[in-house]
Amino acid sequence: MNALTRQDCMTMTFRSEYPGVLFGRYVVIGEDVTIGPGTVLGNNVVVHDGSSIGCNVRIDDGVVIGKEPLRSRLSAMASDVDLEPASIGDEVLIGTHAVIYRGATVGNSVLIADLATVREQVTIGEMSIIGRGVAVENMVTIGRRCKIETGAYITAMSSIGDFCFVAPEVTFTNDNYVGRTEERFKHFKGVTMQVGSRIGANATVLPGMVIGEDALVAAGSIVTKDVPSRAIVMGSPARVIRQVPADQLLSAATPRSGGSQ
């Protein structure tokens, strides 16, 4: 349930077409929008046409849901795909000024923090956390119970498995040609993180790299090759230094710390 102060309640209103939903001031709701009971929308929230919002969702001030993407003719990822409306699951928390695009699907009990951006054709699994200021580009899949921390950049065409951890300021890349030549369009590929893998703060991962199951990339590393499962890599370029200790493997973790039990 959403905790509201007395002052919050005094400034919010109900709308007959959305039973059990509380609205702040200057909320804009498009056509054919569905909102489940128990949901609270803060001030200046915009929900675009067709969007679906589950039950007991908290949406803070200035959030935009269902935004249409901007399409430049110069963009490498420009596409005319007919996007499905945005879909937000039950008990989701969305922080101030977060933007969730049309075509995004957010699972139950996800937290999307202040100023985060979730682009089109993105799927986020249940109970994952998208930290403050994180940018999740288009065509990305994020699994269940993941943590993507403050300021991380998840480039387009990436895949993050269940129980993964991405520390602050991590950068994924997807263009080995760095914006030059027509050849680059044939080779765009994001980063793949397999189940339970982890990446330390300020690491950079080059296009197409695979981080194996339960692998760990040390802070500040530059990953230029695939990382074997259960290996710890460090440095620039990152090299294997040892194996992940047994007590840190996903199979040994408790549910609270992100384990699979």
- The CATH number assigned to the domain holding 31 equals 2.160.10
Report helix, strand or coil for 59.
Answer: strand
Domain span at 142: 137-244
Question: Which secondary structure element, helix H or strand E, spans residue 8, and what is its range?
Answer: helix 6-11
Q: Residue 202 belongs to a domain with what CATH number?
A: 2.160.10.10
Q: Say what the pLDDT of residue 187 is.
A: 63
Confidence grade of residue 79 (pLDDT, cut at 50, 70, 90):
low
Question: Do the domain assignments include residue 146?
Answer: yes
Whether pLDDT at 69 is above 70? yes
Nearest CA to 123 among 150, 148, 104, 99?
A: 104
Locate 51 and state its tokens. Answer: 């969007």
| pLDDT 10s digits, 96-105 | 999 999 999 9
- 95 with 192, same domain? no
Q: Say what the pLDDT of residue 12 is.
A: 80
Whether pLDDT at 256 is above 60? no
Question: Do the domain assignments include residue 126?
Answer: no
- 160 with 237, same domain? yes
Question: Do the domain assignments include residue 124?
Answer: no
Whether pLDDT at 235 is above 70? yes
Whether pLDDT at 66 is above 80? yes
Compute the average pLDDT of residues 114-140: 98
Compute the average pLDDT of residues 69-81: 72
Question: Do the domain assignments include residue 151?
Answer: yes
Q: Say what the pLDDT of residue 260 is.
A: 44
Compute the average pLDDT of residues 222-240: 98
- 159 with 211, same domain? yes
Compute the average pLDDT of residues 112-139: 98
- 216 with 165, same domain? yes
Question: Do the domain assignments include residue 6?
Answer: yes
Nearest CA to 126 among 142, 138, 149, 113?
A: 142
- 10 with 88, same domain? yes
Q: Which amino acid is at 38?
A: G
Compute the average pLDDT of residues 39-43: 97
Question: Do the domain assignments include residue 239?
Answer: yes
Q: What average pLDDT is seen over the chain? A: 91
Q: Say what the pLDDT of residue 1 is.
A: 44
Nearest CA to 218 among 206, 236, 234, 204?
A: 234
Cβ atoms of 1 and 37 closer than 8 Å: no
- 94 with 169, same domain? no
Whether pLDDT at 261 is above 50? no
The residue that leads in pLDDT, 75 or 54, is 54
- 89 with 146, same domain? no
Cβ atoms of 166 and 196 closer than 8 Å: no
**Distance between first and last Cα of the chain:** 26
Q: Say what the pLDDT of residue 16 is.
A: 84
Question: Do the domain assignments include residue 125?
Answer: no
- 57 with 149, same domain? no
Q: How many domains does the structure of the chain reveal?
A: 2
- 3 with 96, same domain? yes
Question: Do the domain assignments include residue 229?
Answer: yes
